[in-house]
Amino acid sequence: MEEKTARNCAGVLWTPPLLANRASIPFKMKCLVINLDRSRDRLAHMTAEFARIGVGFERFAAIDARNRPDLALMPLRVKRKSPLRMTDAEIACLLSHRACWAIIATGDAAYGAIFEDDIVFSAKAGALLADTGWIPADADIVKLETFFKKTTIARKRVSAGHGFSVSRLHRTHIGTAGYILSRQAACDLVDATGDIGIPVDHIVFNPSLTTSSSKTIYQLVPALCVQDQFLGDIAVGLPSMLKQDRGEQREIIEMIKRRRKTGLNKIRTEIKRIGEQMFDLCRLRQETIIPFDYRGERIRPPHTQRRENAL
């Protein structure tokens, strides 16, 4: 019987240990893991995670900002609300995701899943990644992770089986550590990012941008995965690789925000917030923090400051 396989970092075919003798179970969805050549510890972590849930994966060699001094000179043509330029690491991250989009867009599978190399799966993740039958027919994108920040989803939920459900995502929910793309959505994202200037998580999950607002996006509830940094005392110890690069820029952004906090701006912000709540109520939407279950326990959202500093 033909075994289902994926390629590891050396290009060697790798068979998921838990399913080595169960080739009758179809893998209809390509799983790509973005991993830097110098991050062998993270690759080992992801290999163990995929083995634990019994799913194969294909490693994509991430673009390394350390080896690309030309990124600092790359023209960024897309207008941003922030006056700050993307860091070299952010540009490399976007280009890595874009390359994965191209793989999915030109592949035979109807859907592909993309993961960053610092995530931890819930116990039942394998059942969903082994097939695509649970994905809504109109879905362009399905967000699999949680960032433990409030977002807005539809109250209506559709069962995905195995204790999961999917709801339409209607507000920004940043983070691209785990998500599914349809082949057409992947093609559209590649076409839309010829000119870049916005971090990848906003391109995919910020509905104020056309790249996201033009897509039908669902959120998996509870989340299928979460970045290790959010697991607190039980974390493996894989800090965000973008956090350090964003440190100085965050200080500048906070200074700009403080300057904008005039009395009039505060009133406008509050009016906007109330308006959005009324709109969501009428449209049967709810504001919530997407939960995550790990080892039989519900993971609580981290401290607010830690969550803000995570990426």
The answer to whether 141 and 179 are in contact (CB under 8 A) is yes
How much is the pLDDT for 239? 77
How much is the pLDDT for 270? 57
The answer to whether 157 and 288 are in contact (CB under 8 A) is no
Q: How many helices (H) and strands (E) does the chain have?
A: 9, 16
- The terminus-to-terminus CA distance of the chain in angstroms comes to 45
How many whole angstroms from its chain centre is CA 66?
Answer: 23
How much is the pLDDT for 275? 63
How much is the pLDDT for 277? 59
Cis before 222 (ω within 30): yes
Please state the three-class secondary structure of 32-91 as a single string: EEEECCCCHHHHHHHHHHHHHHCCCCEEEECCCHHHCHHHHHCCCCCCCCCCCCCCHHHH
How would you write the pLDDT of the chain (311 residues) with one tens digit per residue?
333 333 333 333 333 333 333 333 344 789 999 999 999 999 999 999 999 999 999 999 999 999 999 998 888 876 555 567 888 999 999 999 999 999 999 999 999 999 999 999 999 999 999 999 999 999 999 999 999 999 999 999 999 999 999 999 999 999 999 999 999 999 999 999 988 888 999 999 998 899 999 999 999 999 999 999 998 888 888 877 665 555 555 554 555 555 556 666 666 655 655 666 565 656 667 999 999 998 888 887 765 434 444 44
Question: What domains can be seen in the chain, in order of their start residue?
Answer: 6-242+286-309 (3.90.550)
How much is the pLDDT for 311? 44
What is the spatial distance between Cα 58 and Cα 65, in angstroms, rounded to a whole number?
22
How much is the pLDDT for 78? 65
How much is the pLDDT for 264? 62
How much is the pLDDT for 243? 58
Amino acid at residue number 72: A
